[in-house]
A = this chain, B = another copy of it.
Amino acid sequence: MRFTRFTNISPLDFRYLDAGIRGHLSEEKFIEYKLMFERSLAHALFRRGLMTEAVYKEIEAACHSVTPDEVYAEEERVGHDIRALVNCIRAKVSDAAKPFVHLTATSQDINDSANALRYVLTSVSIFIPELIELERTLISSAERTASLAQIGRTHGQHAIPTTFGFMIAGYVSRLGECIVRVDACVRELRGKFSGAVGSCNAAALLMKDPKAMEREILKEYDLEPAEHATQITPPEPLMRFFHETMLAVGIMADLADDMRHLARSEIREVREAFGPEQVGSSTMPQKRNPIRFERVKGFWKQVMIRQNLLLMDQLSEHQRDGTNFVSQRTYPEILAYAILATVELKNAMQTARVDQAEFARNLLSGQGSIAAEPLYIILASLGHPDAHEKVRQLTLRAEAEKCELYSVIRTDSDIFLYWGRMTDAQRNIVKNPLFYVGVASSEASAIAKRWRITMDELDAK
């Protein structure tokens, strides 16, 4: 068969290409990791005197030279992926060394450990650093716009004002928490070298403390063994890692959705960067679409639909059944899409334009009806027995008369009784509700500051 980028079926393989992702999550790399564990196993057996150094050196060399092509060709013959890998190593060593390749291990010792390793290394090298960069982008944005008043929107309707920076600070807080936890979850991924049913049967034939050997092999890669394994490691650590990853990407999609809507033609507070050569539509020359924010949501869908796979794969009959083999080969897609979402959103946020004039325009567009809450709160605090309903009636009147709420307020005799008892500050907010932002600015700054420190600490680890 001919192989090019374009004979592929998954967009991960023909379109959303990223050297870092491919360098860590491709099949080629996975085979390399598996060979690393075969070598480490041999080394542990050598340390225990089960083979000579010469024999070990042969195996070591072989583990460095086996290629994916060889492994797949041998699998064609024997119908078993790890046995094929083992046979390829064996084919490159002397008869004296052959018996010791893979000795005491079951296939999943290699597969599960290599999987844990590749998820750790991808996270540490790419995913977490990109998450931190995205977080810092948001922190900077929150700091810069901490005091930029923006109308709050609930149910798509103007509510009361807050600030753009406070809104962004919400994402800083949520994403920051996820990053800390993704980092923690990565450290809890587990390998195993406990044999076909988890009780070290084979190794126990040849040595006193097979659990010590398991710990040693994994230690080389900063991994620990699961407390208990069957043929496979327990699935929960990986599920926790992927769930936290999904939460992170869900937060990104939530932000991307907000940005998309803020970029609507009628709102225009935000605009995605648009290159001088960029085309928005093949037929409508004026189009400037928020395609990066949309793509983030698209990547999120790819990530989150795989949650069902994980939840179904949690169940495996007895010491394991094989209905999860296919699944496990697709888990890297979760991480690949998560990284793509992170990078895309980071770039989109770094280049998006925020238009202050439009914020003001929208704040002022509702004929002052956003003063309804402060007016009600002030009236109530002054003892008005039915302030909420009173103000609700005023807003209905303003609506019916298509006039400013403030003008209705000023002419209402009931309100008149309370007006004089208000403080200047209170009256001012009813008149100019765009100053009604509570603690938004100070909280935005405080949150940004806290997470900047945490990110620095995480980086320093």
Contact = CB atoms under 8 A, between A and B. Distances in A.
A228 B335 CA distance: 28
Interface string A193-224: 00111111111111000110000000000000
A279 B8 contact: no
Interface string A275-311: 1011111111111111100110111011011111101
A416 to B, nearest CB: 18
Interface stretch (A58-66, A123-131, A248-256, A346-354): A248-256
A201 B162 contact: yes
B25 A9 contact: yes
A26 B10 contact: no
A271 to B, nearest CB: 10
A325 B6 contact: no
B281 A174 contact: no
B302 A376 contact: no
Contacts of A258: 317-318
Interface residues of A, number: 196
A150 to B, nearest CB: 9
A13 B381 CA distance: 39
Nearest to A172: B228
A29 B270 CA distance: 38
Contacts of A290: 155-157, 322
A27 B14 contact: yes
A38 to B, nearest CB: 10
Given A1-B19, A321-B154, A11 B250 contact: no
A370 interface: yes
Q: Name the residue among A158, A160, A178, A301 with the largest chain B CB count within 10 angstroms.
A: A160
Contacts of A78: 277-279
23 contacts: A79-B277, A83-B281, A98-B385, A99-B382, A110-B282, A154-B287, A154-B289, A159-B281, A160-B284, A161-B197, A163-B199, A199-B440, A202-B374, A204-B438, A205-B374, A206-B377, A253-B314, A266-B266, A283-B376, A284-B376, A285-B388, A286-B373, A304-B308
